[in-house]
C-alpha cells in the first residue's frame, strides 16, 4: 500500500508537497487523489475534518492535515533536499520561507474573496491589504534573491518561494510581480525549469 496524498491541482500548498515528493524521490511511494475541498468526498473528510488540501495518509493510516506537517514528515522518509543549518543562518532562512508562505496565504485569501464570494460581499479593502502585504514581502525577497539556490540540492526555502511566485503568475498575473524585481524574476526564471516545478504546474485554464 502507498501513502495517499489528497490534493487539488490548483492549490499552491499541494503543489509544494508534490514538489517535495519529487525532489525527495518518493514518487513511487505516493498515490495522488484529486479532490475538491469545497465538494469533499466522505473519505477525505475522515482524513481531514478541516476539509483542506493537501492531506496525507501514511501507509500506517496516520493522517497529516497540513502542508507544513507533510513536508516535515516526508523529509524523514527521503533524501534529496538540503537541510537547514543550525545557528543564526537557520532563522534567516526560516524567515525567508515564512515570507514566501505568507505570500501564498495572502494570495489564496484574495482568490477566495474574488472567486467564491458573491460580488456584493467582496471587500476591496481586504483585497488591497493582501496586495500590499504581498508587494512588501516580494520586495524583501527581491533584495535577498542572490542568496536563493538555483540548482542541485535545494531547500524548502526555495520551494516555498518558487511556489509563491508560480501561484502569483497563475491567479494574480495582474499584479505583475516581476516589475521592478529583476533579481527575483531572474532567479525564478531558472528555478521554474526544475523538473519538479514543470511537473507540478497547475492546469492551464483551471
Site residues for ligand GSH per CB under 6 A: 11, 13, 37, 51-54, 66-68, 108
Nearest to 18 by CA among 206, 197, 205: 197
Q: Please list, residue by residue across 79-109, b when 16 or more beta carbons sit within 10 angstroms of its beta carbon and e when fewer do.
A: eebeebeeeeeeeebeebbebbbbbbbbbbe
What sign does the CA torsion over 161, 83, 29, 41 have? negative
* Nearer to ligand GSH (CB atom), residue 32 or residue 181: 32
170 φ, ψ (degrees, to nearest 5): -75, -50
* Nearer to ligand GSH (CB atom), residue 35 or residue 187: 35
Closest distance to ligand GSH from the beta carbon of 162 (Å): 16
Closest distance to ligand GSH from the beta carbon of 20 (Å): 12
Q: 3-state SS of the chain: helix, strand, coil percent to 5?
A: 55, 5, 35
* Nearer to ligand GSH (CB atom), residue 52 or residue 194: 52
Strand partners, 4: 31, 57
* Nearer to ligand GSH (CB atom), residue 37 or residue 162: 37
Closest distance to ligand GSH from the beta carbon of 199 (Å): 19
Cα dihedral 188, 193, 199, 203, rounded to 10, equals: 60
Closest distance to ligand GSH from the beta carbon of 13 (Å): 4
* Nearer to ligand GSH (CB atom), residue 66 or residue 144: 66
Nearest to 23 by CA among 86, 99, 83, 90: 83
What is the grid cell recorded at 200?
507540478
* Nearer to ligand GSH (CB atom), residue 38 or residue 86: 38
Amino acid at each position: 500500500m502507498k501513502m495517499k496524498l489528497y490534493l487539488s491541482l490548483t492549490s499552491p500548498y499541494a503543489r509544494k508537497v508534490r514538489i517535495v515528493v519529487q525532489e525527495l524521490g518518493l514518487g513511487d511511494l505516493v498515490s495522488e487523489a484529486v479532490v475538491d475541498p469545497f465538494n469533499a468526498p466522505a473519505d477525505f473528510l475522515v482524513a481531514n475534518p478541516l476539509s483542506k488540501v493537501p492531506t496525507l495518509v501514511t501507509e500506517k493510516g496516520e493522517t497529516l492535515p497540513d502542508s507544513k506537517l507533510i513536508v516535515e514528515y516526508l523529509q524523514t522518509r527521503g533524501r534529496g533536499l538540503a537541510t537547514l543549518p543550525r545557528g543564526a543562518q537557520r532563522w534567516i532562512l526560516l524567515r525567508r520561507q515564512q515570507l514566501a508562505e505568507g505570500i501564498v496565504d495572502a494570495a489564496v485569501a484574495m482568490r477566495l474573496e474574488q472567486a467564491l464570494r458573491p460580488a456584493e460581499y467582496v471587500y476591496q479593502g481586504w483585497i488591497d491589504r493582501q496586495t500590499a502585504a504581498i508587494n512588501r514581502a516580494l520586495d524583501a525577497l527581491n533584495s535577498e534573491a542572490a542568496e536563493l539556490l538555483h540548482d542541485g540540492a535545494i531547500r524548502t526555502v526555495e520551494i516555498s518561494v518558487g511556489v509563491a511566485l508560480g501561484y502569483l503568475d497563475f491567479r494574480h498575473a495582474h499584479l505583475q510581480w516581476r516589475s521592478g524585481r529583476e533579481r527575483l524574476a531572474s532567479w525564478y526564471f531558472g528555478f521554474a525549469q526544475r523538473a519538479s516545478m514543470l511537473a507540478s504546474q497547475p492546469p492551464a485554464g483551471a
